[in-house]
Amino acid sequence: WGLLTFSLFSGVTAVIQAARDGLLGRWWGARLLAALPQKLIALPGSALGIFLGGYTGVLLAASSIPLWSRSKHLGAIFISSAISTSSALISLVLRLTGAPVHTLHKLERLEWVALLVEITQLLAFLRGAGRTARPLVGNGPTEHGSLFWKFVFGGGLALPFLLQTFLLLGQSRNRNRKRSLSGGGILISLMVLVGGYFLRRTIVEAGQASSIDARTTLWNAKK
């Protein structure tokens, strides 16, 4: 039901935008659609989007897999990751198409906040997971620490966050500088997208590995 309702609100807002851009012609129906309160209609759609973004994490946390069920931060991690990766993708497309600078500035700030929340929640998740996080952060034969530290935490979160911080500081000093095709911004978007992919991959695969380890399973059951 969440996906269906979200699709309904997304479709309505897309049609309204198409009418305002003149893609539906100038007949009375298009004018009526263009007059609808798009931002007001988008509010429940945004709430449903956040719900869908964190639903995967909530489902994983409700399972009996040691890594997933040990900490209650998975939902927040997936929500913040969904916001950061979607902002990065939209920002990337807008940069390549030469979008207005002020629009990119809003996306950059949103992406910066989402990355900060994601880093904070991920650290809290690792702390709460304890021993069950070993398959995620370790470097053993069946562990995913190499991918996690290089592509998720380092290249997908920490480094993009620092680069985005520098760009935002530079923006405040040079408000009139046009950066719609900035190579730095494109690089940040690509890094965030790659990091979002490996975040989901490593958490899923490490969770499966944690369920195979008998000692980890027993330790998690005792706690």
Question: How deeply is 218 buried, as exposed, middle or buried, from its count of CB atoms within 10 A (0-12, 13-18, 19+)?
Answer: exposed
Which tokens is 26 given? 């100038």
223 residues of the chain, pLDDT tens digit each: 677 887 887 888 888 778 777 777 777 777 787 777 777 777 887 787 777 777 888 888 888 888 888 888 898 999 999 999 999 998 998 888 877 777 788 888 999 999 999 999 999 999 988 888 889 998 888 889 999 999 999 999 999 999 999 888 876 666 545 544 467 888 999 999 999 999 999 999 998 888 886 666 666 666 5
Q: In angstroms, rounded to a whole number, what is the distance separating the alpha carbons of residues 33 and 17?
A: 9
pLDDT of residue 123: 94
Q: Where are the beta strands (DSSP E) in the chain?
A: none
The reported pLDDT for the residue numbered 216 is: 65
Q: How far apart are CA 136 and CA 206, in angstroms?
A: 5
Neighbours of 141 (CB within 10 A): 5
Q: How far apart are CA 134 and CA 129, in angstroms?
A: 9
Spans of all domains in the chain: 1-36, 46-222
Helix (H) or strand (E) holding 117: helix 101-129
CB 180 within 8 A of CB 30: no
Q: Rounded to two decimals, what is the model's pTM? A: 0.81
